[in-house]
A and B are shown apart, each in its own frame.
Chain A
Amino acid sequence: MTVDTTVSRSPWARVKGIWAARKVLALLIRRDLKVKYASSALGYVWAVLDPLLMAGVYWFVFTQIFQRLDVGAEPYIVFLVAGLLPWQWFTGAVNTSGRALNASAKLIRAQNLPREIWVLRPVLAGAVSYVFALPVLALFVVVYGAGVTWYVLLMPVAMLVMIVLLTGIGLLLAPLIVLIKDLDPIVNVVVRLLFYASPIIYSHRDLPPGYEWASVANPLNGILGMFRAAFFPDQLQVSGALTATAISFGFLAVGWLVFARLERTVLKEI
Protein backbone atom coordinates (compact mmCIF):
# COMPACT_ATOMS: atom_id res chain seq x y z
CA MET A 1 0.00 0.00 0.00
CA THR A 2 1.38 3.39 -0.93
CA VAL A 3 0.15 6.71 0.31
CA ASP A 4 0.80 9.42 -2.22
CA THR A 5 -0.72 12.81 -1.58
CA THR A 6 1.48 14.68 -4.04
CA VAL A 7 -1.19 15.66 -6.48
CA SER A 8 -4.91 15.81 -6.11
CA ARG A 9 -5.90 12.31 -7.01
CA SER A 10 -7.52 11.53 -10.33
CA PRO A 11 -11.10 10.23 -10.40
CA TRP A 12 -9.74 6.86 -11.46
CA ALA A 13 -7.38 6.71 -8.48
CA ARG A 14 -10.32 7.57 -6.23
CA VAL A 15 -12.43 4.76 -7.67
CA LYS A 16 -9.55 2.34 -7.18
CA GLY A 17 -9.13 3.55 -3.61
CA ILE A 18 -12.79 2.93 -2.84
CA TRP A 19 -12.63 -0.50 -4.45
CA ALA A 20 -9.60 -1.35 -2.33
CA ALA A 21 -11.55 -0.36 0.77
CA ARG A 22 -14.67 -2.33 -0.17
CA LYS A 23 -14.16 -4.87 2.59
CA VAL A 24 -13.90 -2.17 5.21
CA LEU A 25 -17.02 -0.57 3.78
CA ALA A 26 -18.90 -3.86 3.97
CA LEU A 27 -17.72 -4.28 7.52
CA LEU A 28 -18.95 -0.81 8.51
CA ILE A 29 -22.33 -1.47 6.93
CA ARG A 30 -22.63 -4.80 8.69
CA ARG A 31 -21.77 -3.08 11.94
CA ASP A 32 -24.40 -0.38 11.36
CA LEU A 33 -27.07 -2.96 10.61
CA LYS A 34 -26.05 -4.98 13.65
CA VAL A 35 -26.43 -1.93 15.87
CA LYS A 36 -29.75 -1.11 14.23
CA TYR A 37 -31.31 -4.56 14.29
CA ALA A 38 -29.65 -6.19 17.30
CA SER A 39 -29.50 -3.43 19.88
CA SER A 40 -33.20 -3.55 20.79
CA ALA A 41 -35.61 -6.38 21.39
CA LEU A 42 -37.91 -5.33 18.58
CA GLY A 43 -35.00 -4.62 16.19
CA TYR A 44 -36.49 -5.57 12.85
CA VAL A 45 -39.97 -4.43 13.83
CA TRP A 46 -38.75 -0.90 14.57
CA ALA A 47 -37.09 -0.74 11.17
CA VAL A 48 -40.32 -1.42 9.27
CA LEU A 49 -42.76 0.03 11.79
CA ASP A 50 -42.14 3.63 10.80
CA PRO A 51 -43.17 3.34 7.13
CA LEU A 52 -46.04 1.02 8.05
CA LEU A 53 -47.47 3.45 10.60
CA MET A 54 -47.12 6.31 8.13
CA ALA A 55 -48.83 4.20 5.48
CA GLY A 56 -51.64 3.46 7.92
CA VAL A 57 -52.08 7.13 8.75
CA TYR A 58 -52.20 8.28 5.11
CA TRP A 59 -54.51 5.42 4.19
CA PHE A 60 -56.90 6.45 6.99
CA VAL A 61 -56.76 10.16 6.15
CA PHE A 62 -57.36 9.80 2.43
CA THR A 63 -59.71 6.83 2.16
CA GLN A 64 -61.63 7.13 5.42
CA ILE A 65 -61.72 10.86 6.23
CA PHE A 66 -61.56 12.49 2.81
CA GLN A 67 -63.26 9.52 1.15
CA ARG A 68 -60.99 9.96 -1.86
CA LEU A 69 -60.75 6.67 -3.70
CA ASP A 70 -59.21 8.12 -6.87
CA VAL A 71 -55.87 9.20 -5.37
CA GLY A 72 -52.78 7.09 -6.09
CA ALA A 73 -53.72 3.64 -7.33
CA GLU A 74 -55.65 0.66 -6.02
CA PRO A 75 -54.97 -1.00 -3.63
CA TYR A 76 -53.95 2.29 -2.05
CA ILE A 77 -52.26 0.75 1.01
CA VAL A 78 -49.92 -1.25 -1.26
CA PHE A 79 -49.31 1.90 -3.30
CA LEU A 80 -48.35 3.72 -0.09
CA VAL A 81 -46.04 1.01 1.28
CA ALA A 82 -44.33 0.61 -2.11
CA GLY A 83 -43.59 4.35 -2.08
CA LEU A 84 -42.83 4.89 1.59
CA LEU A 85 -40.14 2.22 1.81
CA PRO A 86 -37.92 3.87 -0.84
CA TRP A 87 -38.75 7.26 0.69
CA GLN A 88 -37.54 6.06 4.08
CA TRP A 89 -34.30 4.99 2.45
CA PHE A 90 -34.00 8.37 0.73
CA THR A 91 -34.62 10.55 3.76
CA GLY A 92 -32.51 8.39 6.07
CA ALA A 93 -29.57 8.38 3.69
CA VAL A 94 -29.69 12.11 2.93
CA ASN A 95 -29.79 13.05 6.61
CA THR A 96 -27.12 10.57 7.68
CA SER A 97 -24.73 10.99 4.78
CA GLY A 98 -24.93 14.76 5.07
CA ARG A 99 -23.71 14.54 8.65
CA ALA A 100 -21.42 11.58 7.94
CA LEU A 101 -18.12 13.45 8.06
CA ASN A 102 -18.95 15.11 11.37
CA ALA A 103 -20.34 11.91 12.84
CA SER A 104 -17.34 9.78 11.90
CA ALA A 105 -14.77 12.46 12.74
CA LYS A 106 -12.95 10.22 15.20
CA LEU A 107 -12.48 7.45 12.68
CA ILE A 108 -11.59 9.83 9.88
CA ARG A 109 -8.83 11.35 12.00
CA ALA A 110 -7.59 7.93 13.05
CA GLN A 111 -7.41 6.20 9.71
CA ASN A 112 -6.57 6.93 6.13
CA LEU A 113 -9.56 5.42 4.35
CA PRO A 114 -11.02 6.91 1.17
CA ARG A 115 -13.29 9.63 2.57
CA GLU A 116 -16.05 8.74 0.10
CA ILE A 117 -16.87 5.61 2.06
CA TRP A 118 -18.39 7.66 4.89
CA VAL A 119 -21.01 8.82 2.41
CA LEU A 120 -21.42 5.45 0.71
CA ARG A 121 -21.93 3.74 4.04
CA PRO A 122 -25.39 5.13 4.97
CA VAL A 123 -26.49 5.00 1.33
CA LEU A 124 -25.70 1.30 1.01
CA ALA A 125 -26.88 0.49 4.53
CA GLY A 126 -30.21 2.05 3.48
CA ALA A 127 -30.25 -0.17 0.41
CA VAL A 128 -29.80 -3.27 2.55
CA SER A 129 -32.51 -2.12 4.96
CA TYR A 130 -34.81 -1.60 1.99
CA VAL A 131 -34.21 -5.16 0.82
CA PHE A 132 -34.80 -6.41 4.36
CA ALA A 133 -38.17 -4.64 4.37
CA LEU A 134 -39.30 -6.21 1.08
CA PRO A 135 -40.97 -9.23 2.74
CA VAL A 136 -43.35 -6.81 4.44
CA LEU A 137 -44.20 -5.28 1.06
CA ALA A 138 -44.71 -8.78 -0.36
CA LEU A 139 -47.06 -9.54 2.50
CA PHE A 140 -49.20 -6.51 1.69
CA VAL A 141 -49.17 -7.42 -2.00
CA VAL A 142 -50.43 -10.92 -1.23
CA VAL A 143 -53.01 -9.88 1.36
CA TYR A 144 -54.49 -7.09 -0.80
CA GLY A 145 -54.23 -9.09 -3.98
CA ALA A 146 -52.17 -6.67 -6.06
CA GLY A 147 -50.82 -8.30 -9.21
CA VAL A 148 -47.12 -8.62 -9.89
CA THR A 149 -45.85 -7.89 -13.39
CA TRP A 150 -42.53 -8.48 -15.13
CA TYR A 151 -41.69 -4.87 -14.29
CA VAL A 152 -40.48 -6.27 -10.99
CA LEU A 153 -37.17 -6.50 -12.85
CA LEU A 154 -37.07 -2.70 -12.77
CA MET A 155 -36.73 -2.73 -9.00
CA PRO A 156 -32.96 -3.41 -9.01
CA VAL A 157 -32.58 -0.71 -11.66
CA ALA A 158 -34.52 1.67 -9.45
CA MET A 159 -32.23 0.78 -6.57
CA LEU A 160 -29.13 1.49 -8.66
CA VAL A 161 -30.43 4.89 -9.76
CA MET A 162 -31.36 5.63 -6.15
CA ILE A 163 -27.84 4.72 -5.01
CA VAL A 164 -26.33 7.02 -7.66
CA LEU A 165 -28.65 9.88 -6.68
CA LEU A 166 -28.07 9.47 -2.95
CA THR A 167 -24.31 9.14 -3.35
CA GLY A 168 -24.27 12.34 -5.39
CA ILE A 169 -26.37 14.25 -2.86
CA GLY A 170 -24.32 12.86 0.02
CA LEU A 171 -20.97 13.74 -1.56
CA LEU A 172 -22.26 17.24 -2.22
CA LEU A 173 -23.74 17.84 1.23
CA ALA A 174 -21.24 16.11 3.53
CA PRO A 175 -18.33 18.55 3.08
CA LEU A 176 -20.60 21.59 2.85
CA ILE A 177 -22.34 20.74 6.13
CA VAL A 178 -18.95 20.57 7.85
CA LEU A 179 -17.99 24.00 6.56
CA ILE A 180 -21.35 25.78 6.64
CA LYS A 181 -23.11 25.39 9.96
CA ASP A 182 -26.55 26.57 8.81
CA LEU A 183 -26.88 24.00 6.10
CA ASP A 184 -28.01 21.07 8.22
CA PRO A 185 -31.37 22.52 9.32
CA ILE A 186 -31.97 23.80 5.80
CA VAL A 187 -31.48 20.29 4.44
CA ASN A 188 -33.96 18.98 7.01
CA VAL A 189 -36.62 21.42 5.90
CA VAL A 190 -36.02 20.79 2.21
CA VAL A 191 -36.27 17.03 2.68
CA ARG A 192 -39.56 17.42 4.53
CA LEU A 193 -40.96 19.62 1.78
CA LEU A 194 -39.72 17.16 -0.80
CA PHE A 195 -41.95 14.51 0.75
CA TYR A 196 -45.04 16.39 -0.32
CA ALA A 197 -43.46 17.52 -3.57
CA SER A 198 -42.84 13.92 -4.63
CA PRO A 199 -45.45 11.41 -5.76
CA ILE A 200 -45.41 9.28 -2.61
CA ILE A 201 -48.89 9.63 -1.17
CA TYR A 202 -50.25 10.55 -4.60
CA SER A 203 -49.42 9.53 -8.14
CA HIS A 204 -47.74 11.77 -10.71
CA ARG A 205 -51.00 11.36 -12.63
CA ASP A 206 -52.82 13.25 -9.88
CA LEU A 207 -50.84 16.43 -10.53
CA PRO A 208 -53.13 19.18 -11.78
CA PRO A 209 -52.60 20.43 -15.36
CA GLY A 210 -49.74 22.91 -15.56
CA TYR A 211 -47.65 21.07 -12.97
CA GLU A 212 -46.39 18.28 -15.21
CA TRP A 213 -42.93 19.85 -15.19
CA ALA A 214 -42.69 19.07 -11.48
CA SER A 215 -42.81 15.36 -12.12
CA VAL A 216 -40.02 15.59 -14.67
CA ALA A 217 -37.81 17.94 -12.64
CA ASN A 218 -37.97 15.78 -9.52
CA PRO A 219 -35.79 12.70 -9.93
CA LEU A 220 -37.73 10.93 -7.18
CA ASN A 221 -40.75 10.81 -9.46
CA GLY A 222 -39.06 8.65 -12.06
CA ILE A 223 -37.36 6.50 -9.44
CA LEU A 224 -40.58 5.88 -7.50
CA GLY A 225 -42.30 5.00 -10.76
CA MET A 226 -39.71 2.27 -11.35
CA PHE A 227 -40.02 1.03 -7.77
CA ARG A 228 -43.80 0.73 -8.11
CA ALA A 229 -43.95 -0.59 -11.66
CA ALA A 230 -43.98 -4.20 -10.44
CA PHE A 231 -47.46 -3.70 -8.97
CA PHE A 232 -48.61 -0.53 -10.74
CA PRO A 233 -47.29 -0.62 -14.32
CA ASP A 234 -49.22 2.53 -15.20
CA GLN A 235 -47.15 4.48 -12.65
CA LEU A 236 -44.06 3.98 -14.79
CA GLN A 237 -43.27 7.15 -16.68
CA VAL A 238 -40.50 6.44 -19.15
CA SER A 239 -39.53 10.08 -19.68
CA GLY A 240 -39.47 10.56 -15.91
CA ALA A 241 -37.30 7.48 -15.39
CA LEU A 242 -34.80 8.65 -18.02
CA THR A 243 -34.54 12.21 -16.69
CA ALA A 244 -34.26 10.83 -13.15
CA THR A 245 -31.29 8.71 -14.26
CA ALA A 246 -29.67 11.68 -15.99
CA ILE A 247 -30.23 13.97 -13.01
CA SER A 248 -28.87 11.32 -10.64
CA PHE A 249 -25.64 10.96 -12.59
CA GLY A 250 -25.45 14.76 -12.76
CA PHE A 251 -25.67 14.90 -8.97
CA LEU A 252 -22.97 12.25 -8.72
CA ALA A 253 -20.60 14.19 -10.98
CA VAL A 254 -21.15 17.55 -9.27
CA GLY A 255 -21.15 16.00 -5.80
CA TRP A 256 -17.90 14.15 -6.34
CA LEU A 257 -16.25 17.23 -7.80
CA VAL A 258 -17.23 19.34 -4.81
CA PHE A 259 -16.21 16.58 -2.43
CA ALA A 260 -12.77 16.22 -3.99
CA ARG A 261 -12.28 19.99 -4.03
CA LEU A 262 -13.20 20.46 -0.37
CA GLU A 263 -11.66 17.31 1.10
CA ARG A 264 -8.43 18.96 2.17
CA THR A 265 -10.20 21.83 3.92
CA VAL A 266 -12.74 19.55 5.57
CA LEU A 267 -10.04 17.30 7.04
CA LYS A 268 -8.65 20.28 8.93
CA GLU A 269 -12.04 21.30 10.28
CA ILE A 270 -13.25 18.03 11.76
Chain B
Amino acid sequence: MSSEVVRPPVDHDAPPIIEVEGLSLRFHKSRRHRSIRDLLFKGQTGVRAGEFWALDDVSFSVQPGEAIGVVGANGQGKSTLLKALTGTLLPDQGSVKVHGGISPLIEITGGFVGELTVRENIQVVSGLHGMSRREIDAAFDEIVEFAEIASSLDSPYKHLSSGMKVRVAFAVVSRLEEPIMLVDEVLAVGDRAFREKCWDRIEEMLAEGRTFFLVSHSERDLTRFCTRGLYMQAGRVTMDGPIEEVVEAYLKDSDDNLALRRHEVRQRRQARREAREAAIREQAAADAERDREADES
Protein backbone atom coordinates (compact mmCIF):
# COMPACT_ATOMS: atom_id res chain seq x y z
CA MET B 1 0.00 0.00 0.00
CA SER B 2 1.48 3.29 -1.01
CA SER B 3 -0.93 5.77 0.51
CA GLU B 4 -0.66 6.93 4.08
CA VAL B 5 -4.23 6.07 4.96
CA VAL B 6 -4.97 2.92 6.92
CA ARG B 7 -7.67 0.95 5.20
CA PRO B 8 -8.88 -2.63 4.82
CA PRO B 9 -7.07 -4.61 2.13
CA VAL B 10 -8.61 -4.76 -1.35
CA ASP B 11 -10.04 -8.12 -2.33
CA HIS B 12 -8.88 -8.63 -5.90
CA ASP B 13 -10.99 -11.74 -6.43
CA ALA B 14 -14.26 -10.02 -5.59
CA PRO B 15 -16.50 -9.01 -8.48
CA PRO B 16 -15.65 -5.47 -9.60
CA ILE B 17 -17.80 -2.65 -8.21
CA ILE B 18 -17.30 -0.45 -11.27
CA GLU B 19 -16.95 -1.70 -14.83
CA VAL B 20 -16.29 0.76 -17.63
CA GLU B 21 -16.00 -0.56 -21.16
CA GLY B 22 -15.29 1.36 -24.32
CA LEU B 23 -16.86 4.45 -22.78
CA SER B 24 -16.99 7.32 -25.26
CA LEU B 25 -18.66 10.68 -24.92
CA ARG B 26 -18.93 13.32 -27.58
CA PHE B 27 -19.36 17.07 -27.12
CA HIS B 28 -19.98 19.97 -29.45
CA LYS B 29 -17.26 22.55 -29.60
CA SER B 30 -19.86 25.27 -30.00
CA ARG B 31 -23.55 25.43 -29.40
CA ARG B 32 -25.05 24.87 -32.80
CA HIS B 33 -28.59 25.23 -33.88
CA ARG B 34 -30.11 22.02 -34.98
CA SER B 35 -33.42 21.68 -36.72
CA ILE B 36 -36.22 19.83 -35.00
CA ARG B 37 -36.19 17.35 -37.84
CA ASP B 38 -32.49 16.69 -37.29
CA LEU B 39 -32.99 16.00 -33.62
CA LEU B 40 -35.97 13.74 -33.85
CA PHE B 41 -35.39 11.67 -36.91
CA LYS B 42 -31.66 11.57 -37.54
CA GLY B 43 -29.56 9.20 -35.53
CA GLN B 44 -26.73 10.27 -33.27
CA THR B 45 -24.08 8.29 -35.14
CA GLY B 46 -21.17 9.68 -37.10
CA VAL B 47 -18.79 12.39 -36.04
CA ARG B 48 -19.82 15.81 -37.24
CA ALA B 49 -17.58 18.74 -37.88
CA GLY B 50 -17.08 20.75 -34.71
CA GLU B 51 -17.37 17.79 -32.39
CA PHE B 52 -14.76 16.23 -30.17
CA TRP B 53 -14.56 13.18 -27.96
CA ALA B 54 -14.33 14.21 -24.33
CA LEU B 55 -13.98 10.53 -23.50
CA ASP B 56 -12.55 8.22 -26.11
CA ASP B 57 -12.79 4.46 -25.65
CA VAL B 58 -12.12 4.40 -21.91
CA SER B 59 -12.06 0.99 -20.22
CA PHE B 60 -11.15 -0.03 -16.70
CA SER B 61 -12.63 -1.85 -13.76
CA VAL B 62 -12.47 -1.12 -10.06
CA GLN B 63 -12.47 -3.50 -7.10
CA PRO B 64 -14.44 -2.58 -3.97
CA GLY B 65 -12.26 -0.56 -1.62
CA GLU B 66 -9.82 0.76 -4.21
CA ALA B 67 -8.79 4.42 -4.00
CA ILE B 68 -8.20 5.92 -7.40
CA GLY B 69 -6.69 9.28 -8.28
CA VAL B 70 -7.50 10.74 -11.67
CA VAL B 71 -4.82 13.07 -13.00
CA GLY B 72 -4.40 15.10 -16.17
CA ALA B 73 -4.29 18.68 -17.38
CA ASN B 74 -7.48 20.76 -17.64
CA GLY B 75 -9.92 19.69 -20.32
CA GLN B 76 -8.67 16.13 -20.68
CA GLY B 77 -11.92 14.48 -19.56
CA LYS B 78 -11.46 13.93 -15.82
CA SER B 79 -14.69 15.55 -14.69
CA THR B 80 -16.58 14.09 -17.62
CA LEU B 81 -15.43 10.65 -16.50
CA LEU B 82 -16.75 11.20 -12.98
CA LYS B 83 -20.06 12.47 -14.34
CA ALA B 84 -20.38 9.39 -16.51
CA LEU B 85 -19.78 7.28 -13.41
CA THR B 86 -22.54 9.05 -11.46
CA GLY B 87 -24.88 8.69 -14.45
CA THR B 88 -25.42 12.43 -14.89
CA LEU B 89 -23.95 12.05 -18.37
CA LEU B 90 -24.90 9.11 -20.58
CA PRO B 91 -22.32 7.41 -22.82
CA ASP B 92 -22.56 7.80 -26.58
CA GLN B 93 -20.76 4.48 -26.94
CA GLY B 94 -19.71 1.78 -24.54
CA SER B 95 -21.01 1.12 -21.09
CA VAL B 96 -20.71 2.07 -17.46
CA LYS B 97 -21.80 -0.36 -14.78
CA VAL B 98 -21.73 0.74 -11.17
CA HIS B 99 -22.83 -1.80 -8.58
CA GLY B 100 -23.65 0.33 -5.58
CA GLY B 101 -24.71 3.80 -4.57
CA ILE B 102 -22.50 6.83 -5.04
CA SER B 103 -21.86 9.83 -2.80
CA PRO B 104 -21.04 12.45 -5.38
CA LEU B 105 -18.99 15.26 -3.87
CA ILE B 106 -19.38 17.08 -7.16
CA GLU B 107 -21.37 20.30 -7.35
CA ILE B 108 -22.41 19.58 -3.81
CA THR B 109 -24.41 22.79 -3.34
CA GLY B 110 -26.74 21.71 -6.16
CA GLY B 111 -29.82 20.84 -4.12
CA PHE B 112 -29.84 23.83 -1.78
CA VAL B 113 -32.51 26.52 -2.02
CA GLY B 114 -31.77 30.08 -0.94
CA GLU B 115 -35.27 30.79 0.38
CA LEU B 116 -35.38 27.93 2.85
CA THR B 117 -33.52 27.99 6.17
CA VAL B 118 -30.31 26.07 6.74
CA ARG B 119 -32.23 23.59 8.89
CA GLU B 120 -34.84 22.93 6.20
CA ASN B 121 -32.12 22.70 3.56
CA ILE B 122 -30.21 20.07 5.51
CA GLN B 123 -33.37 17.99 5.84
CA VAL B 124 -34.42 18.39 2.21
CA VAL B 125 -31.00 17.76 0.67
CA SER B 126 -30.38 14.70 2.84
CA GLY B 127 -33.75 13.43 1.64
CA LEU B 128 -32.84 14.19 -1.97
CA HIS B 129 -29.81 11.97 -1.57
CA GLY B 130 -32.08 9.15 -0.45
CA MET B 131 -31.79 9.35 3.34
CA SER B 132 -34.90 8.41 5.27
CA ARG B 133 -36.51 10.69 7.84
CA ARG B 134 -35.04 8.60 10.67
CA GLU B 135 -31.53 8.62 9.21
CA ILE B 136 -31.72 12.37 8.79
CA ASP B 137 -32.79 12.89 12.38
CA ALA B 138 -29.96 10.66 13.55
CA ALA B 139 -27.34 12.45 11.47
CA PHE B 140 -28.67 16.00 11.91
CA ASP B 141 -26.66 17.01 14.98
CA GLU B 142 -23.47 15.56 13.54
CA ILE B 143 -23.98 17.52 10.33
CA VAL B 144 -24.58 20.75 12.22
CA GLU B 145 -21.56 20.19 14.39
CA PHE B 146 -19.32 19.33 11.46
CA ALA B 147 -20.36 22.43 9.53
CA GLU B 148 -20.11 24.60 12.67
CA ILE B 149 -23.37 26.20 11.70
CA ALA B 150 -25.42 25.90 14.91
CA SER B 151 -25.76 29.67 15.32
CA SER B 152 -27.36 30.30 11.92
CA LEU B 153 -29.55 27.20 11.63
CA ASP B 154 -32.70 29.24 11.19
CA SER B 155 -31.45 31.92 8.85
CA PRO B 156 -32.11 31.57 5.12
CA TYR B 157 -29.45 29.62 3.26
CA LYS B 158 -28.85 32.53 0.88
CA HIS B 159 -27.57 34.66 3.77
CA LEU B 160 -24.58 32.35 4.27
CA SER B 161 -21.21 33.19 2.77
CA SER B 162 -20.09 30.98 -0.09
CA GLY B 163 -17.56 29.27 2.16
CA MET B 164 -20.24 28.47 4.72
CA LYS B 165 -22.52 27.12 1.99
CA VAL B 166 -19.85 24.65 0.93
CA ARG B 167 -19.33 23.64 4.55
CA VAL B 168 -22.99 22.76 5.01
CA ALA B 169 -23.09 20.96 1.69
CA PHE B 170 -20.00 18.92 2.43
CA ALA B 171 -21.27 18.07 5.90
CA VAL B 172 -24.48 16.68 4.38
CA VAL B 173 -23.02 14.77 1.44
CA SER B 174 -20.18 13.27 3.47
CA ARG B 175 -22.79 11.79 5.83
CA LEU B 176 -24.19 9.51 3.11
CA GLU B 177 -23.59 5.82 3.68
CA GLU B 178 -22.86 4.94 0.06
CA PRO B 179 -20.08 2.47 -0.81
CA ILE B 180 -18.59 4.69 -3.55
CA MET B 181 -17.33 8.22 -3.09
CA LEU B 182 -16.41 10.65 -5.87
CA VAL B 183 -14.54 13.86 -5.08
CA ASP B 184 -13.93 16.46 -7.75
CA GLU B 185 -11.88 19.37 -6.45
CA VAL B 186 -14.82 20.56 -4.35
CA LEU B 187 -12.56 21.39 -1.50
CA ALA B 188 -10.85 24.25 -3.28
CA VAL B 189 -13.19 26.63 -1.41
CA GLY B 190 -13.35 26.87 2.35
CA ASP B 191 -10.61 27.96 4.72
CA ARG B 192 -7.60 25.85 5.55
CA ALA B 193 -8.83 24.52 8.86
CA PHE B 194 -12.08 23.32 7.32
CA ARG B 195 -10.29 21.78 4.35
CA GLU B 196 -8.17 19.75 6.72
CA LYS B 197 -11.32 18.68 8.55
CA CYS B 198 -12.80 17.52 5.25
CA TRP B 199 -9.74 15.46 4.45
CA ASP B 200 -9.90 13.90 7.89
CA ARG B 201 -13.50 12.97 7.25
CA ILE B 202 -12.58 11.46 3.88
CA GLU B 203 -9.81 9.51 5.56
CA GLU B 204 -12.37 8.15 8.02
CA MET B 205 -14.59 7.05 5.15
CA LEU B 206 -11.63 5.39 3.42
CA ALA B 207 -10.88 3.50 6.61
CA GLU B 208 -14.39 2.07 6.37
CA GLY B 209 -13.31 0.50 3.09
CA ARG B 210 -15.23 2.64 0.65
CA THR B 211 -14.31 2.86 -2.98
CA PHE B 212 -12.87 6.28 -3.73
CA PHE B 213 -12.32 8.44 -6.79
CA LEU B 214 -10.40 11.69 -6.48
CA VAL B 215 -9.82 14.27 -9.20
CA SER B 216 -7.06 16.59 -8.12
CA HIS B 217 -4.00 18.50 -9.23
CA SER B 218 -2.40 18.26 -5.83
CA GLU B 219 0.41 15.72 -5.82
CA ARG B 220 0.23 15.64 -2.02
CA ASP B 221 -3.48 14.80 -1.77
CA LEU B 222 -3.27 12.23 -4.53
CA THR B 223 -0.45 10.25 -2.97
CA ARG B 224 -1.93 10.66 0.51
CA PHE B 225 -5.29 9.09 -0.30
CA CYS B 226 -4.95 7.02 -3.45
CA THR B 227 -3.22 3.81 -4.36
CA ARG B 228 -4.01 3.61 -8.04
CA GLY B 229 -3.81 6.33 -10.65
CA LEU B 230 -5.50 6.98 -13.97
CA TYR B 231 -3.74 9.44 -16.25
CA MET B 232 -6.08 11.10 -18.72
CA GLN B 233 -4.90 12.76 -21.90
CA ALA B 234 -7.28 13.97 -24.63
CA GLY B 235 -10.12 11.78 -23.39
CA ARG B 236 -8.11 8.59 -23.16
CA VAL B 237 -6.68 6.78 -20.17
CA THR B 238 -3.02 6.71 -21.21
CA MET B 239 -1.74 5.21 -18.01
CA ASP B 240 -3.26 3.04 -15.29
CA GLY B 241 -0.95 2.04 -12.47
CA PRO B 242 0.36 2.77 -8.99
CA ILE B 243 -0.39 6.37 -8.04
CA GLU B 244 3.28 7.41 -7.59
CA GLU B 245 4.23 6.37 -11.11
CA VAL B 246 1.17 8.03 -12.62
CA VAL B 247 1.71 11.28 -10.72
CA GLU B 248 5.38 11.24 -11.67
CA ALA B 249 4.52 10.80 -15.35
CA TYR B 250 1.99 13.62 -15.13
CA LEU B 251 4.42 15.96 -13.40
CA LYS B 252 7.13 15.11 -15.89
CA ASP B 253 4.80 15.85 -18.79
CA SER B 254 3.61 19.11 -17.29
CA ASP B 255 7.21 20.08 -16.47
CA ASP B 256 8.12 19.28 -20.05
CA ASN B 257 5.20 21.39 -21.21
CA LEU B 258 6.26 24.21 -18.95
CA ALA B 259 9.84 23.97 -20.18
CA LEU B 260 8.64 23.86 -23.75
CA ARG B 261 6.45 26.90 -23.21
CA ARG B 262 9.34 28.79 -21.57
CA HIS B 263 11.55 27.80 -24.46
CA GLU B 264 9.00 29.09 -26.95
CA VAL B 265 8.63 32.36 -25.09
CA ARG B 266 12.41 32.76 -25.02
CA GLN B 267 12.65 32.09 -28.71
CA ARG B 268 9.90 34.54 -29.52
CA ARG B 269 11.60 37.20 -27.40
CA GLN B 270 14.89 36.49 -29.12
CA ALA B 271 13.28 36.81 -32.54
CA ARG B 272 11.68 40.13 -31.56
CA ARG B 273 15.00 41.45 -30.28
CA GLU B 274 16.78 40.42 -33.45
CA ALA B 275 14.13 42.05 -35.59
CA ARG B 276 14.43 45.26 -33.57
CA GLU B 277 18.21 45.24 -33.86
CA ALA B 278 18.03 44.60 -37.58
CA ALA B 279 15.64 47.52 -37.94
CA ILE B 280 18.04 49.79 -36.02
CA ARG B 281 20.98 48.63 -38.14
CA GLU B 282 19.04 49.26 -41.32
CA GLN B 283 18.04 52.69 -40.10
CA ALA B 284 21.67 53.47 -39.23
CA ALA B 285 22.84 52.27 -42.65
CA ALA B 286 20.19 54.38 -44.34
CA ASP B 287 21.22 57.41 -42.26
CA ALA B 288 24.88 56.88 -43.15
CA GLU B 289 23.96 56.56 -46.83
CA ARG B 290 22.02 59.82 -46.70
CA ASP B 291 24.91 61.59 -44.94
CA ARG B 292 27.35 60.37 -47.55
CA GLU B 293 25.11 61.55 -50.36
CA ALA B 294 24.82 64.91 -48.65
CA ASP B 295 28.61 65.13 -48.32
CA GLU B 296 29.16 64.27 -51.95
CA SER B 297 26.76 66.91 -53.22
Contact = CB atoms under 8 A, between A and B. Distances in A.
Contact of A34 (B87, B88, B120): B120
Contacts of B39: 176, 179, 262, 265
B14 interface: no
Interface string B141-176: 000000000000000000000000000000000000
Residue among B33, B86, B110, B120 with the most chain A CB within 10 A? B110
A267 B128 contact: no
Contacts of A110: 88, 104, 106-108, 110-111
A5 B90 contact: yes
Interface string B117-133: 00010001001111000
A197 interface: no
B34 A109 contact: no
B95 interface: yes
Nearest to B25: A268
Interface in A1-55: 1-6, 23-24, 27-28, 31, 34-35, 39
Residue among B25, B96, B120, B128 with the most chain A CB within 10 A? B128
B104 A3 contact: no
A6 B91 CA distance: 8
B83 A109 contact: yes
B116 interface: yes
Contacts of A27: 124, 127-128
Interface of B: 25, 27-28, 31, 33-34, 36, 39-40, 44, 83-92, 95-102, 104, 106-111, 113, 115-116, 120, 124, 127-130
Contacts of A112: 86-88, 102, 104
Nearest to A21: B130
A111 B88 contact: yes
B286 to A, nearest CB: 59
Given A110-B107, A112-B102, A6 B97 contact: yes
A267 B44 contact: no
B44 A265 contact: yes
Contacts of A206: none
9 contacts: A3-B85, A3-B96, A27-B128, A31-B120, A106-B110, A107-B128, A110-B111, A111-B129, A264-B92
A192 interface: no
Contacts of B120: 31, 34
A109 B88 CA distance: 6
A180 interface: yes
Interface size classification for chain A: 35 or more
A98 B279 CA distance: 64
A263 interface: yes
Nearest to B26: A268
Contacts of B92: 264
Contacts of A180: 33-34, 36
Instruction: Across the A-B interface, give the 5 residue pairs with the lowest CB-CB distance, nearest first.
Output: A110-B110, A112-B87, A6-B95, A3-B98, A110-B107
Contacts of B128: 24, 27-28, 107, 111, 113
Interface string A162-180: 0000000000000010011
B180 to A, nearest CB: 10
B50 to A, nearest CB: 14
Contacts of B101: 1
A1 B104 CA distance: 14
Nearest to A30: B124
Interface string A245-270: 00000000000001001111101110
B269 to A, nearest CB: 41
A24 B128 CA distance: 5
